[in-house]
Amino acid sequence: MTMRFTKMHGLGNDFVVIDATHEPVELTPERVRHIADRHFGVGCDQLLVVEPPSQAGVDFRYRIFNADGGEVEQCGNGARCFVRFVHEKGLTAKREIRVETRSGIIAPRLEDNGLVTVDMGVPVLEPARIPFISDSDAVVQPLDVGGTMVPVTAVSMGNPHAVQVVADVDAAPVAAQGPLIEGHARFPARVNAGFMQVVSPSHIRLRVYERGAGETLACGSGACAAVVAGVLRGLLVSPVRVETLGGKLEIAWAGIGAPVMMTGPAVTVFEGELALA
């Protein structure tokens, strides 16, 4: 059996994108892991599957699978690539699209300059809904990471994030702390671990150790979560330029109750056909 795919990226956070609008695609966690494998498969941080909508008033449904095979709720860089994909494939001519994800409906828009702006929805801060086990709703909470108390802000952008502030992102303990935070018992659904350096109130540098994928060159939902955390901590003023290892995003957030807006690029790299066992 063969499967056609498109390889894409948003700031180096890379995706294998599959069109399942005409025919369903059978995916198992093993198959996702094989496709995402950089040696034995195509290689990607996430696999994105574009499907017909399951409800009225929505244009598409898109599903997100991490490289470890797990299906997740949200992907910011993926949402931008999804829009470019449906345009390039001629699946719609609409520039503003309503798309179902596991965490609800998001609304990405293809701009005239080729960038994509995504309304990523209202961030969730209540611990139980993140989910984050805590008796407190304080913005900054100590997390015991291998015996070191790390002050983090827990935010859900549809998917869970734990953001910490570091003095120098290049020296941040991403490899050492990332896996410990990702699998921390206080985050029962696991979590994406963000390390943010505040350069100025409108500029941060960010690295993210992603749940189910390890450190990636960029994480769109992580950039949104970091800006929310920075604004809530009084360190940032929207809009904020977020510099990742793979490039820059613009994030705007007007505060509690408002949606987070993310603008950035989406790039198609190549198309291919994969033989599946």
Ligand X SMILES: N[C@@H](CCC[C@H](N)C(=O)O)C(=O)O
Q: How far is the CB of 221 from ligand X (least distance, A)?
A: 3
Helices of type H across 37-167: 76-88
Q: How far is the CB of 222 from ligand X (least distance, A)?
A: 6
Q: How far apart are CA 142 and CA 184, in angstroms?
A: 13
Q: How far apart are CA 202 and CA 235, in angstroms?
A: 9
Q: Which of residues 245-264 bind ligand X (CB under 6 A)?
A: none
Map residue 108 onto helix, strand or coil.
strand
- How many residues can be counted in the chain? 277
Residue 220 engages ligand X in binding (rule: CB under 6 A): yes
Active-site residue, 44 included: no
Residue 192 engages ligand X in binding (rule: CB under 6 A): yes
Q: How many CA atoms lie within 13 A of 232 on its CB side?
A: 24
Residue 177 engages ligand X in binding (rule: CB under 6 A): no
Residue 66 engages ligand X in binding (rule: CB under 6 A): yes
**Facing residues of 240 across strands?**
251
Segment near ligand X (CB under 6 A); pick from 167-175, 215-223, 236-244, 266-274: 215-223
CB 81, CB 51: distance < 8 Å:
no
Q: How far apart are CA 17 and CA 14, in angstroms?
A: 10
**Facing residues of 145 across strands?**
148
Closer residue to ligand X, CB minimum distance, 27 or 219: 219
Member of 210, 236, 244, 266 binding ligand X (CB under 6 A): 210
Q: How far apart are CA 107 and CA 96, in angstroms?
A: 7
The structure tokens listed for 201 are: 């109130």
Q: How far is the CB of 262 from ligand X (least distance, A)?
A: 9
Member of 6, 31, 77, 228 binding ligand X (CB under 6 A): 77
Active-site residue, 219 included: yes
**Residues in contact with ligand X by the rule CB under 6 A:** 13, 45-46, 66, 72, 75-78, 159, 192, 210-213, 216, 219-222
> Which residues fall in the annotated binding site for substrate?
13, 46, 66, 76-77, 159, 192, 210-211, 220-221
Give catalytic residue positions: 75, 219
